[in-house]
Amino acid sequence: MSDRKSKLQKYSAPALEKGLDILEYLSLTDSRPTLSQLAAGIGRSKSEIFRMMIVLEERGYISRSEGDIYSLTDRISTLGAERSINSRLSEAAKPYLEELAGKTGLSNHLSVLDGSDLLVIANANAPHYYGLSVQVGYRTALGGSAAGACFLADLPTSQQRRDVLERLAQQPTPDMLAQLDNMVSQCRGGGYASASNAETNAILELSAPVVAIARKETIAAITIACFASDSMTNRLPGMADALRAAASAFSNKLAITMPTTGGNGLLQLGAL
């Protein structure tokens, strides 16, 4: 017996195995089985899988129709597609992020909208000994940041932006909305937004939108983070030019390599 097989037997997870058996069976069958038929199909009793079926249905992986017949939903494929898109975006962004880091001497990162949060999926470190680097996987709230403003700039009105933030369980204050309106205006007029970091005013963030050109929707944001200082203030015009150029070049590349990439969904949410 191989070491791998021994480890798998030692660390077996019966409940997970049942769930995978159910999903695999439903993915392979051409019919829509009842609970009894499904139980027989995977060699288990109805009582063994009943609670598992309830959980899978509540989580959206399977659906139950009239007559208590079951079928697989598209949730798994959707999760896989989202991961694939983020992976492809991350890989495609690397040369643009690295070139931007080289031009500015500063770290930068790429964020996408993931649910109600901004998720960092790629980064490039400063080419020097130190820099402000944000790790891949870091999450932050949509409202109150320069990157968030790039996404929310897709929405035409301040009221729509407020409604979206509230639907995403973020409670915008009047000061936050005023700051957001200023950043949106800056993004629309200048191609980038700037703001102090939400956690500390000592850090300044500049963000530019990466756009799905065919859909005219923001799909990502490139952000440069730096220490707020007089010397950095003097460098802002050059940094902004390099940032806009990187975001524009990446948008044009995606229009060729990933032309069907969807937008951030905020336009649909804002129209509700």
pLDDT tens column, 1-60: 345 445 555 667 888 889 999 999 998 887 889 999 999 999 999 999 999 999 999 988
Please give the Cα distance from 135 to 130 (Å, whole number). 14
Rounded to whole angstroms, the Cα distance separating 127 from 268 reads: 40
Question: 267 falls in which pLDDT band (50, 70, 90)?
Answer: low
List pLDDT tens digits, range 239-260. 999 999 999 999 999 999 988 7
CA distance 193 to 185: 8
How does DSSP classify residue 34?
A: B
pLDDT at position 263 is 63
pLDDT at 198: 66
Q: What separation in angstroms does the CA of 241 have from each of 191, 248, 254, 255?
A: 9, 11, 20, 21
The pLDDT of residue 126 is 87
CA torsion, points 45, 47, 48, 54, in degrees to nearest 10?
A: 120
Closest by Cα among 88, 136, 141 to 113: 141
- Angle among Cα 188, 192, 197 to the nearest 5 degrees reads 125
Give the residue among 215, 214, 267, 222 at the shortest CA–CA distance from 248. Answer: 222
117 is written with which tokens?
Answer: 């949060």
Report CA-CA distances (Å) from 124 to 90, 105, 107, 235: 11, 11, 6, 19
Residue 4: its pLDDT value, please? 46
pTM of the model: 0.70
270 pLDDT more than 80: no
> Rounded to whole angstroms, how far apart are CA atoms 31 and 198?
52
Contact status, residue 228 vs residue 180, Cβ threshold 8 Å: no
Asked whether 72 and 107 are in contact (CB, 8 A), the reply is no
